Amino acid sequence: MLRCLMLIPLLFALAACQGPQVQRDFDPTRDFSAYRAWGWQEPALQYRPDDPRIKSDLTEQRIRAAIAEQLDQQGLRPATAGQAADLKVQAWYIVDQRTQQYTTTSGAWGNPWYGYWGGPMFTDTRTIDYQVGTLQIDLYDAADGKLVWRGSAEQTLSNRQGTPEQRAGSMRELVTRVLSQYPPR
């Protein structure tokens, strides 16, 4: 029972890490309504670290498809052959190793008004290592090559990878969170 009670703060802290942390920045002097067509700025997707466990053609396909789908929902269409793109799109997928420590104290009981009494105090410190994936999407003005909008979001990565459908769904959710901030309002 005591172990279960000690895990509750840990679960709340991990749940707080799961919350959407979307960040964005943009050039307020740009007229975003003028952007209608987009194309990829090559390399379309870059990875940090350049690790084959992270970098794969399958991951790139999922990210590219999710970005194309969300840009379409935002009213932007892919530039066709012979048509110039208004925006160039480039993405970064960054994986960081993070560590958090949680300390719990237990063992004393009694009335705080009269002082605690009872058994000895126990302190338990646990260290949790986990990975966080950050997807950053940059939009460049195709005419002058300047960055006009940047959005990013993080998600805690699971040790269990899941099925290809689950991986694609997870990537779609992440891209949706990032591009929900476009165009700037």
Determine, yes or no, domain membership for 55: yes
Domain assignment of residue 30, yes or no: yes
Q: Is the residue at 185 inside a domain?
A: no
Where residue 90 sits, what CATH number does that domain have? 3.30.160
Q: Does any domain span residue 35?
A: yes
From 12-16, 33-37, 97-101, 130-134, the region with the lowest mean pLDDT: 12-16
Query: Looking at the domain assignment, is residue 105 inside a domain?
Result: yes
What's the pTM value of the predicted model, to 2 decimals?
0.77
Q: Which residue has the higher pLDDT, 185 or 132?
A: 132
Residue 4 has a pLDDT of: 45
Q: Which of 2-11, 17-26, 71-80 holds the top average pLDDT?
A: 71-80
The domain in which residue 114 lies consists of 2-179
Residue 58 is assigned to a structural domain of this protein: yes
Answer whether residue 10 shows pLDDT above 60: no
Residue 184, in any domain of the structure: no
Residues 99-141 have pLDDT tens digits of 989 888 776 565 666 665 556 667 888 998 988 999 999 999 9
pLDDT of residue 52: 78
Mind listing the pLDDT tens digit for each residue in 51-110? Answer: 777 788 999 999 999 999 999 999 999 999 888 999 999 999 999 998 989 888 776 565
How many domains does the chain fold into? 1
- Pair of tokens at residue 147: 């960055």
